[in-house]
């Protein structure tokens, strides 16, 4: 989610390959990577993602001023390719917009 927030774009990954590579390097090498390469995750946060298969994150923008206010993410037992299909991206963007509207209505 950090990568989606920083880039302000939808980010999707086949997470198991990211997890295996990062976990295999160990905590010191993981934390030495640039924040963007480690998806802004600490070593402990990486460890919490061991069961993820595919992940996609979408930024949430304030409907009034367009500023980024957060992200929504979906982890699923599927591939990156499936997570970036048009139908899934439509669902994800609708969810992000709904979250933004909830924030504005508070």
Indicate the pTM of the whole model: 0.81
Q: pLDDT (tens digit, 9 = 90+) per residue, 5-36?
A: 989 999 999 999 999 999 999 999 999 999 88
Q: pLDDT (tens digit, 9 = 90+) per residue, 34-90?
A: 988 898 899 999 999 999 999 999 999 999 999 999 999 999 999 999 999 999 999
Long-range contacts of residues 63-69, Cβ cutoff 8 Å, at least 24 apart: 63/97, 63/100, 63/101, 63/104, 64/104, 68/5, 68/8, 69/100, 69/103
Per domain, the residue ranges of the chain are 2-104
DSSP sequence for 15-27: HHHHHHHHHHH-H
């Amino acid at each position: 989610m950090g990568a989606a927030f920083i880039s302000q774009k939808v980010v999707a990954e086949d997470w198991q390959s990211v997890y295996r590579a990062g976990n295999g390097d160990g905590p010191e090498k993981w934390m030495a990577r640039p924040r963007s390469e480690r998806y802004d995750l600490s070593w402990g946060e990486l460890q919490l993602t061991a069961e993820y298969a595919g992940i996609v994150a979408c930024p949430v923008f304030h409907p009034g001023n367009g500023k980024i206010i957060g992200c929504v993410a979906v982890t699923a037992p599927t591939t990156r390719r499936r997570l970036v299909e048009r139908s899934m991206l439509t669902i994800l963007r609708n969810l992000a917009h709904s979250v933004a509207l909830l924030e504005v209505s508070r």
